[in-house]
Each structure stands twice: as C-alpha cells, then as structure tokens.
C-alpha cells in the first residue's frame, strides 16, 4: 500500500452566519468531520451536489481557510505550524486550479506573467531570462504555442485559459494539485482534452490530485478513490470500483442513475438539497432518500466499513450490499444495482 501523502482527519468547518430580519446568529456547518487519505501519485475524487462543502474542504486543505477543527497532514507534516500559519514548505508543495478560468486569470496580465507569478513571489527562480525559459517549457508541457506568453487571457478560449491555469499551477514544481471543478466551465469536447492533459502531467511528475467535481463521470474517469459528499459529510467513501460498481449508499446510487444515459433506470429523488443551516435530524439524506425508514429520521448513521475497503454511512448498507434493500423500494434499488 502506498503511504498516505495527504492525510485529512476529522476536518470540520463552521461559519457563523446572521440570518433573517432580526439578525439571529446561527452556525452553518459547511464541512463536518471529514477524514480521508490520498496516496502519493493518486487521485482522490470528491463528488457531491452544489453546496455540499467540496470547495470549503479544498480551501481548508490549501490553508486558504482555517479549519474549525480537525487536522491536515501533507507528506507526514502538519499543514499548520505552531503559530497557526501554513507551513511555507508545504504551501510550495501544493497548488490550486480553480473552476472558472475566466476569473482565475487577471485580465490585465499577460500569460507569461500569470504563469511565472508563483516563481517570482516564492523566489524559486530569478532573472528574466531564466523565468522566460521556464515559461516556455511550461507552455510546451500544457500544449500551448510559444507566442501565448505575450497574449492576454481575453485572447484565449476557455480551454486555453485552463491550460494557462494548469501551467501556472505546475510552475513551482508542486507535488500536490487541488483541482476544484477544473473542467465544469468548459465544453464537453474540451473537458476530455484537459482531463487527459491532467492525467499525462500526473504520470510524468508523479503528482497527487484532489479532484473536485459534481460530475460523477469526470470523477470516475480520473480517480483512484472517491468520496461522495452530502451536506458536508461523507455518505460513502472508498476505492473507485467499490464505490461505483458496488455502491452501498442510496445517494451514490442516485448520483449514478442521474449520470447514466439510461432514462428508465433513473431513481426518484425528491426536492432540493436541504439548507445546511438547518440540516435534517438523523441521516442528513433521509428527507430525499427513496428507501428512508423510521430510524433514518432519528439516528445518524456512522461511516461503517464494508468488506472491500469502502465505508458507507447508511443504516442499511449491509442490506444494500446483500442485494435486499429495506422497505418498499426494493425493486427500484435492485434495478439500480444491477448496473
């Protein structure tokens, strides 16, 4: 087994928020008690609907946002040093790629300067000639023409912009990339190119990825392991094949059926994602779960280990695995599991 390069333990983020006319104070739990490991050179895919806390998790791992509680270790070292600051060595080791290549590149900076910014600010390379040399290497690596260095972002297409963002991210030779929805702003045809580029770079430089997406097909294409998030919690987490082929949580099954093109097999899902300000009692998913039972509304299920390294937070995970989901929706569930 590869040792855990990134190790996240019981990470929680609570935001104090003010609600309503009267300015009542409340606590919004964006991420709750999340733990996972990423092996060196591996990809961990974080999937979930909008508002499930994916970006918040990424920001805490990057040290862009302090965690309310819990810890992050990278390469065995704690992310935060004793002074409560991000360890400078670790910060240099990881780089983010953001979702929207239209706001993540300054419109008034030419591509060359966008790419070499981390090299300048972290003083990794000095001298205009050396910087230009490195920029030209990086442009090659991400498949952009050399003359792109003097262009401005508005002269580039979405896909090209995201290549610039990737070149910038790998410029300081990081070992860990946090990819927050790296392709969701792009056309489907371009998505595949960018994902393949990311895969190539990963194998060339032995990069470790945390990949965030609401798109199960993107996550399944890229990842070695997958965590399915809902309202700030993991519903199911484990090796990719286990989570996708032998899902043991209704939410994963619903995401899968929503992603599949096979119309008739779609599982029913009712309503909107509940507000994280007033999460449901018991299992956070019970309000929308087609298999919901009495116990689901009262008792919150813990993540429990299945047979093949996957964990599922469902009272009926065992039954689902055994192919006999509880209650009246049995036929529906077996239908979905057949795939």
Query: Applying CB under 8 A, which residues contact another protein?
Result: 62-64, 88, 91, 95-96, 98, 100, 102-109, 114, 117-118, 121-122, 168, 172
Residue 160 interacting entry, from ligand ATP, Mg ion, another protein, none, C-beta within 5 to 8 Å by type? none
Residues near 271 by beta carbon (within 8 Å), at least 6 away in sequence: 287, 288
Interface residues with Mg ion (CB under 5 A)? 55
Give the pair of three-digit tokens for residue 135: 């920029």
Residue 276 interacting entry, from another protein, ligand ATP, Mg ion, none, C-beta within 5 to 8 Å by type? ligand ATP
User: Where is 335: in which H helix or E strand?
Assistant: helix 330-337
Q: How far apart are CA 154 and CA 150, in angstroms?
A: 12
Tokens 């790296």: give the residue.
182
Residue 100 or 241: which CB sits closer to another protein? 100
Q: How far is the CB of 102 from another protein (least distance, A)?
A: 7
Residue 142 or 219: which CB sits closer to Mg ion? 219
- Contact of 176 with 210, CB cutoff 8 Å: yes
Residue 11 or 115: which CB sits closer to Mg ion? 11
- Contact of 177 with 95, CB cutoff 8 Å: yes
Residue 46 or 237: which CB sits closer to Mg ion? 46
Q: Minimal CB distance to Mg ion: which residue?
A: 55
Q: How far apart are CA 59 and CA 149, in angstroms?
A: 29
Q: How far apart are CA 263 and CA 273, in angstroms?
A: 22
Strand order in the sheet with 311-312: 94-97, 176-180, 208-213, 43-48, 225-230, 233-239, 311-312, 304-305
Cα angle for residues 269, 235, 60 (degrees, 5° grid): 120
Residue 175 or 286: which CB sits closer to another protein? 175
Q: How far is the CB of 119 from another protein (least distance, A)?
A: 9
Q: Count of CB atoms within 10 A of residue 315's CB?
A: 21
Q: How far is the CB of 108 from another protein (least distance, A)?
A: 4
Quote the radius of gyration of the chain (alpha carbons, Å). 21
Q: How far is the CB of 251 from another protein (least distance, A)?
A: 25
Q: How far is the CB of 238 from another protein (least distance, A)?
A: 30
Residue 114 or 254: which CB sits closer to ligand ATP? 254
- Contact of 72 with 7, CB cutoff 8 Å: yes
Residue 226 or 317: which CB sits closer to ligand ATP? 226
Q: How far is the CB of 79 from another protein (least distance, A)?
A: 13
Q: How far is the CB of 139 from another protein (least distance, A)?
A: 18
Residue 225 interacting entry, from Mg ion, another protein, ligand ATP, none, C-beta within 5 to 8 Å by type? none
Residue 48 or 301: which CB sits closer to Mg ion? 48
- Contact of 134 with 143, CB cutoff 8 Å: no
Interface residues with ligand ATP (CB under 6 A)? 15, 17, 28, 30, 48, 50-56, 214, 276
Residues near 47 by beta carbon (within 8 Å), at least 6 away in sequence: 54, 212, 213, 214, 215, 216, 219, 226, 227, 228, 229, 255
Residue 62 interacting entry, from ligand ATP, Mg ion, another protein, none, C-beta within 5 to 8 Å by type? another protein
Residue 104 or 312: which CB sits closer to Mg ion? 104
**Helix, strand, coil proportions of the chain in percent (round to 5)?**
35, 25, 40
Q: How far is the CB of 214 from ligand ATP (least distance, A)?
A: 5
Q: How far is the CB of 271 from ligand ATP (least distance, A)?
A: 16
Please state whether 271 falls in left (phi above 0), alpha (psi between -120 and 50) or beta: left
Residue 103 interacting entry, from another protein, ligand ATP, Mg ion, none, C-beta within 5 to 8 Å by type? another protein
């Amino acid at each position: 087994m590869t040792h855990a390069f990134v190790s996240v333990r019981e990470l929680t983020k609570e935001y104090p928020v003010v609600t309503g006319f009267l300015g009542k104070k409340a606590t919004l739990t964006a991420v709750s008690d999340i733990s996972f490991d990423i092996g060196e050179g591996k990809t961990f895919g974080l999937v979930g609907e909008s508002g499930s806390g994916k970006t918040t998790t990424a920001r805490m791992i990057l040290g862009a946002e302090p965690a309310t509680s819990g810890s992050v270790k990278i390469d065995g070292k704690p992310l935060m040093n004793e002074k409560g600051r991000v360890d400078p060595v670790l910060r240099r080791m990881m780089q983010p790629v953001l979702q929207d290549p239209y706001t993540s590149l300054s419109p008034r900076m030419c591509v060359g300067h966008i790419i070499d910014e981390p090299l300048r600010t972290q003083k990794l390379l000095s001298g205009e000639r050396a910087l230009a040399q490195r920029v030209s290497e990086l442009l090659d690596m991400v498949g952009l023409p050399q003359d792109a260095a003097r262009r401005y972002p508005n002269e580039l297409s979405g896909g090209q912009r995201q290549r610039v963002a990737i070149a910038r991210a790998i410029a300081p030779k990081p070992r860990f990339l946090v990819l927050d929805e790296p392709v969701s702003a792009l056309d489907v045809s371009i998505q595949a190119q960018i994902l393949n580029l990311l895969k190539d770079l990963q194998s060339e430089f032995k990069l470790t990825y945390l990949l965030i997406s609401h798109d199960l097909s993107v996550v399944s294409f890229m990842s070695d392991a997958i965590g399915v998030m809902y309202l700030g919690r993991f519903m199911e987490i484990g090796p990719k094949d286990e989570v996708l082929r032998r899902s043991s949580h209704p939410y994963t099954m619903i995401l899968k059926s929503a992603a599949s093109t096979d119309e008739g097999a779609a599982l029913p899902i009712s309503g909107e994602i509940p507000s994280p300000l007033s999460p449901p009692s018991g299992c956070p998913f019970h309000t929308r779960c087609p298999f919901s039972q009495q116990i689901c509304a009262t008792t919150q299920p813990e993540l429990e280990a299945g047979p093949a390294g996957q964990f599922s937070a469902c009272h009926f995970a065992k039954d689902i695995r055994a192919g006999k989901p509880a209650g009246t929706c049995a036929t529906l569930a077996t239908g979905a599991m057949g795939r």
